[in-house]
């Protein structure tokens, strides 16, 4: 289910929208009683599925049906107002035509929260959207909150609330999903990792409550340790990101799965910046800013959630690989390196300590191969792991192999293996170590003992190495924070080349000396005050360089006249810009731009390439505005950053000057919400500074 909303009806992303709070959501997750409007005996209907699940909980349930005296063998009431006692929560599972009447009844009966199962509203065209908006206004006016409509339900295992169409395993993962099936798939994957769900809320159309509201409600929930979100539309993206940041700061990391790498605004973009900032890149930027862990599948989500709730973020990337087979030790080492982990050679003291616990044939320099030591003394795993987790040479340990299978060799060894696993977990927790385990015997009693003690266990080495790499990056790439937007200033009225250039120059972005000319006489007169060589640009053409509308290296008046007559004859521009030619010796061309996303606000983009930016596609994006230091970090994170820092004997460019251009442009764009796109392309970064060679603004 994909919900499409009119962008004009969205909140102004990041501009003072009220932050979400969990106020009033106790009635949603821990109500005194529940009324199910549309409760049914028909096993093909949600009113039946929801009622069956609701009756499994301990919260009082009132079955509302206007035509049947009983449902599921229990008496019904014709309305919520007929219950005769307060009901905090009403679940509505009736056809769309009866939804508004059911909401009126629920509110009249004192409901403080409503769950709209009914479909055929906001997702069903203009008429349905109008009805949904009208109903939402009623709910808010009554001081109540609404989940959905067009949703799968809500569940809270800590309050014994069961109002979803399916059962979910019990655990400590809070799930928020815009897809019912994806939530069910994730729940099944969590079981494989010995995990389950604390709370579940289906977003549906997000007519009232949205993902940000629910994240905030989960932050204060003692039973939730981490939050899994599947969301297709963020409505107010900055509010979502701020809620996720609050969750991370409270020790409850958010793992996000989303879809949709392109949208109509990207296809219609008129500049390089707009064409390359897809909604996928926008979401990635928001995730980096807020500390959200983004994944690409439910399986990745389950893998990472296990590590986040059981393990710890390591102090660095130095990784010990610990295996009970040479092949697995080698494969695990390669897998770790592929994730940016550093399989360092141990110092002499650690090698000696590990060697003392293992047979003489064991490898001890890293990776460690116990070389049959497990069969001889299963407790060697505990002792070796203890040396690794307490060593100053090691930040994290990736364990791989057969552990968990030794118990098949006999009951005494099975008992000892489980004891070794328990003690490994106890020691790791006591030392504050980071340990991730992969074993072919991942569903064994010993593997369960590791999980129960706080060590994540995986079936495949790729998954284990991947999650360890993600844990390490939480330290090396911390959240940058959600920037505040400045107050809006006087609107830009003219987005022509020279007004744009002037606006940017006033913001402190350097340009070469230049003037606009419309006639040959103006050209010659103006050239007298400029220094050759010159550049002639045809104005009024956004792709002027591709059409031969930019003439470089004009050395004298004769060449200038020839260039003018050629350009005007071929392109007939309304005017031209005549500019001094910057000294580009040792320069690297950069693209610097900002695009305003309707959900996330201004997005800052930097990249290499100038006119070749779309070919090289070496870009970085961040929520704006950015500081000079953040801009510098973005530049240094480009794949081609070595060109900026002095590759192959080149002089390094002035990174501080280039970063200053990025920061100033981002500040300017953030203060002008009417600017949809703004860019300087190229910006010439040289060893002695940075200067903008072109400017473009697209108004919303």
Crossing angle (nearest 10°) for helices 298-310 and 461-476: 60
- The mean pLDDT value for 544-555 works out to 87
Strand-pair partners of 113: 89, 145
Q: Quick one: CA torsion of 524, 529, 531, 534, rounded to 10 degrees?
A: -40
Q: For 171-236, where are the alpha helices, taking DSSP H only?
A: 180-192, 211-219
Beta partners for residue 606, in sequence order: 592, 620
Residues with Cβ within 8 Å of 604's Cβ and at least 6 positions away in sequence, in order, are: 593, 594, 621, 622, 623, 624, 625, 626, 631, 634, 662, 665, 666, 669
Nearest alpha-carbon partner for 604 in 626, 576, 630: 626
Question: Residue 13: its pLDDT value, please?
Answer: 43
SS3 content of the chain, % helix, strand, coil (to 5): 40, 20, 40
150 Ramachandran zone, left/alpha/beta (phi>0; psi -120 to 50): left
Tokens coding 505 = 């120059």
Q: Three-state SS for 605?
A: strand
In 3D, which of 341, 249, 343, 332 has the Cα closest to residue 291? 249
CA distance 107 to 100: 11
Q: What is the CATH number of domain 309-476?
A: 3.40.50.261
Query: In the prediction, which pLDDT does 264 show?
Result: 45
Q: Is residue 431 helix, strand or coil?
A: helix
Strand partners, 595: 603, 677
**CB neighbourhood size of 662 (10 A):** 31
Q: Residue 468: which of 453, 481, 478, 457 has the closest Cα? A: 457
What percentage of the chain exceeds 70 in pLDDT? 93
Check whether 667 has a pLDDT greater than 70.
yes
Q: Are 164 and 200 in contact (CB under 8 A)?
A: yes
Q: pLDDT digits over 522-549, tens only?
A: 999 999 999 999 999 999 877 677 788 9
Q: What are phi and psi of 625, to 5 degrees?
A: -80, 160
Let me know how long the chain is: 700
Give the distance from CA 450 to its chain's centroid: 30
Mean pLDDT of 172-181: 95
Asked whether the CA dihedral 373, 375, 379, 381 is positive or negative, the reply is positive
- Can you tell me which residue has the tokens 């407790």? 379
Whether pLDDT at 173 is above 70 = yes
Averaged pLDDT, 590-619: 88
pLDDT computed for residue 616 by the predictor:
78
Per-domain residue ranges for the chain?
7-259, 309-476, 513-580
Task: Give the Cα separation of 426 and 454 in Å (integer).
Answer: 8
378 HSE (CA, 13 A, CB side): 23
Q: How many CB atoms lie within 10 A of CB 344?
A: 16
What is the rounded distance in angstroms from the CA atom of residue 374 to the CA atom of residue 527? 84
The structure tokens 């005050």 sit at: 529
Answer with the residue of higher pLDDT: 577 or 277.
Answer: 577
Q: Which fold has domain 513-580?
A: Dna Ligase; domain 1 (3.30.1490)
Peptide bond into 73 cis (omega under 30): no
pTM of the model: 0.90
> What CATH number belongs to 7-259?
3.40.50.720
Instruction: Give 263's pLDDT tier (boundaries 50, 70, 90).
Output: low
Helix (H, G, I), strand (E, B) or coil at 648: helix
Residue-wise pLDDT tens digits, 383-440:
999 999 999 999 999 999 999 999 999 999 999 999 999 999 999 999 999 999 999 9
CB 476 within 8 A of CB 469: no
pLDDT of residue 28: 97
Distance CA 677, CA 687 (A): 29
Q: Residue 277 — pLDDT band, cuts 50, 70, 90? A: low
Query: What's CA 255's distance to the chain center, in Å?
Result: 8
Beta strand pairing call for 226-231 and 170-177: parallel
Within a 10 A sphere around the Cβ of 413, how many other Cβ atoms?
16
- Would you say residue 478 has pLDDT above 60? yes
* pLDDT band per the 50, 70, 90 thresholds, residue 17: very low
pLDDT tens-digit readout, 86-103? 999 999 999 999 999 999
- Average per-residue pLDDT for the chain: 91
Identify the band that residue 586 occupies on the pLDDT scale cut at 50, 70 and 90: confident
Q: CA 378 to CA 366: how far, in whole Å?
A: 20
Average pLDDT rounded to a whole number, residues 198-206: 96
Q: Give CA–CA dist 385/432, Å, rounded.
A: 13
- Whether 382 has a pLDDT exceeding 60, the answer reads yes
Does the pLDDT value for residue 373 go beyond 90? no
Tell me whether the CATH fold assigned to 7-259 matches the one assigned to 513-580.
no
* Helix (H) or strand (E) segment spanning residue 89: strand 89-92
């Amino acid at each position: 289910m994909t919900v499409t909303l009119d962008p004009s009806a969205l909140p102004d992303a990041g501009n003072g929208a009220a932050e979400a709070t969990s106020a009033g959501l106790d009635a949603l997750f821990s109500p005194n009683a529940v009324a199910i409007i549309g409760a049914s005996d028909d096993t093909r209907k949600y009113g039946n599925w929801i009622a069956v699940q609701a009756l499994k909980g301990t919260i009082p349930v009132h079955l509302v049906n206007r035509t049947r005296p009983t449902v599921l063998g229990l008496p019904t009431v014709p309305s919520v107002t007929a219950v005769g006692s307060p009901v905090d929560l009403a679940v509505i599972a009736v056809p769309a035509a009866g939804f508004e009447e059911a909401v009126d009844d629920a509110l009249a009966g004192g409901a403080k929260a409503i769950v709209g199962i009914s479909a055929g509203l906001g997702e069903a065209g203009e008429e349905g959207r109008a009805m949904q908006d009208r109903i939402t206004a009623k709910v808010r006016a009554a001081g109540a909150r609404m989940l959905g409509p067009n949703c799968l339900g809500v569940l809270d295992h800590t309050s014994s609330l069961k109002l979803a169409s399916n059962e979910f395993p019990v655990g400590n993962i809070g799930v928020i999903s815009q897809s019912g099936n994806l939530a069910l798939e994730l729940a099944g994957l969590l079981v494989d990792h010995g995990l389950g769900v604390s709370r579940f809320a289906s977003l549906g159309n997000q007519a009232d409550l949205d993902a940000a509201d629910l994240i905030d409600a989960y932050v204060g929930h003692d039973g939730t340790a981490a939050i899994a979100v599947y969301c297709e539309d963020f409505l107010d993206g900055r509010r979502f990101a701020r809620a996720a940041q609050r969750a991370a700061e409270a020790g409850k990391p958010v793992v996000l799965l989303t879809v949709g790498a392109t949208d109509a605004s990207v296809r219609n973009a008129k500049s390089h910046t707009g064409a390359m900032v897809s909604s996928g890149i926008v979401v990635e930027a928001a995730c980096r800013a807020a500390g959200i862990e983004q994944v690409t599948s439910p399986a990745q989500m389950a893998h990472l959630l296990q590590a986040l709730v059981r393990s710890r973020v390591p102090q660095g990337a130095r990784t010990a690989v610990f295996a009970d087979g040479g092949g697995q030790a080698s494969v695990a080492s390669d897998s770790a390196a592929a994730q940016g982990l550093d399989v360092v050679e141990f110092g002499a003291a650690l090698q000696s300590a590990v060697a003392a616990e293992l047979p003489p044939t064991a490898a001890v320099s890293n990776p460690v191969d116990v070389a049959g030591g497990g069969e001889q003394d299963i407790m060697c795993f505990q002792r070796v792991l203890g040396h690794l987790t307490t060593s100053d040479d090691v930040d994290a340990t990736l364990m791989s192999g057969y552990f968990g299978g030794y118990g098949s060799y006999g009951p005494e060894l099975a008992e000892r293996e489980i004891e070794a696993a328990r003690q490994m977990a106890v020691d790791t927790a006591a030392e504050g170590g980071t340990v991730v385990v992969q074993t072919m015997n991942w569903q064994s009693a010993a593997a369960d003992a590791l999980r129960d003690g706080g060590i994540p266990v995986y079936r495949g080495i790729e998954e284990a190495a991947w999650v360890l790499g993600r844990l390490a990056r939480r330290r090396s790439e911390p959240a940058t924070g959600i920037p505040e937007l400045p107050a809006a200033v006087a609107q830009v009225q003219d987005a022509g080349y020279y007004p744009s250039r002037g606006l940017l120059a006033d913001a402190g972005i350097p340009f070469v000396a230049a003037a606009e000319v419309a006639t040959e006489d103006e050209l010659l007169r103006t050239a007298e005050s400029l220094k050759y060589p010159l550049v002639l640009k045809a104005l009024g053409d956004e792709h002027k360089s591709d059409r031969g509308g930019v003439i470089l290296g004009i050395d004298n008046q004769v060449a200038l006249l020839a260039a003018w007559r050629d350009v005007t004859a071929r392109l007939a521009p309304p005017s031209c810009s005549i500019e001094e030619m910057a000294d580009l010796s040792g320069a690297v061309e950069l693209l610097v731009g900002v695009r305003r996303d309707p959900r996330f606000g201004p997005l800052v983009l930097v990249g290499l390439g100038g006119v070749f930016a779309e070919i090289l596609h070496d870009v970085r994006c961040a929520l704006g505005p950015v500081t000079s230091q953040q801009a510098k970090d973005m530049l240094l994170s480009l794949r081609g950053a070595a060109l900026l820092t002095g590759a192959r004997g080149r002089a390094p460019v002035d990174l501080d000057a280039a970063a200053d251009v990025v920061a100033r442009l981002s500040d300017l764009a953030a203060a002008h919400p009417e600017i949809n796109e703004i860019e300087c392309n190229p910006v010439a970064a040289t060893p002695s500074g940075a200067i903008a060679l072109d400017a473009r603004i697209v108004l919303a």
